[in-house]
Amino acid sequence: MTCPGTCVIAGIESGAEKEDGRGGDSPESALIETLPPAEPERLRNAQLALVAAEVHFPAILSIQTDQVLLARFQDQIRDRYPYLFLGQQFGFSIGPQGVEQPQQASGRLYQFADTERQWMVTLTANSIALQSRDYTDYEGFSERLLRILASARDVYKISNRQRLGLRYVNEIRHPKARSPEDWNSLINPELLGLLANKGLSPLIASSFQEASIRLNNGALTLRHGHFAQGTTVPPPPGEPPADGGPFYLLDLDAYDEEGTDLDDHTIDQLLKSYNQTMFQLLCWSVQEELFEYLKGDG
């Protein structure tokens, strides 16, 4: 494995083309060929604040109105997610000060959590999502996601999707990184921007950038920057926000907005390819010292 590395994001992925011009559905089809290749591996000291997968589908009013169907859905997933929380759907955005939340609600949501509130299923009229604060590997995450989707298909007869996404929110904290300039020895300088400027970095309170990257099989949004405190991830229901001190955000959000059937094989292959692409970007984004720290070596 060649990881980490430094090179410019200048091209789009390789991979076999389908008739519609999109990349193949193998994991390699999403790789960015201008970056060093990287095979996903277990990082024992991973700094993942949240991992989430979400499927959007045409709105189903019965999710909001039919309590019998809702109870049936709950019964199918209650062995793993016994706790139910009711709430309102908000749109969240991330800025230099962390999570920025609009005041107006856009609909009802149902959240089903495990006993430790480390895993959460969120159901709305037009989406279903799985979130994890205890992520180990893609295989375990995918197994949970496909089981949830099977229950949603069975109860609500969902047959197609409008959007599919996978997101890894890394909030990287390192013993050496207490101020913005400390990231110069840990993060790829091509990513740091003004933080890499020795004259300006001591004066920077926070830094946040966002880039959209085209993929053969979708798109990827990269949000990154230095935060002096707090977190970009909303806390579980009923818990206070966490604050672990300064961190560098690497928020990788890959998605496909092409409407198609809700098929397990296609979903798994597409998300697996996104997982590999985002690990490739993670490797490119960090320097060797930080990558070894994330691996938990030494």
Name which of 73, 93, 94 is nearest 84 in CA terms.
73
10 Å Cβ neighbour count for 100?
Answer: 12
Element (H, E) at 53: strand 48-56
CATH architecture of 48-165: 4-Layer Sandwich (3.60)
Please write the tens of the pLDDT for every residue from 176-219: 998 899 999 999 999 998 888 888 888 888 889 999 999 989 99
Domain boundaries, the chain: 27-35+169-295, 48-165
Question: Residue 127 above 90 pLDDT?
Answer: yes
Question: Residue 5 above 50 pLDDT?
Answer: no
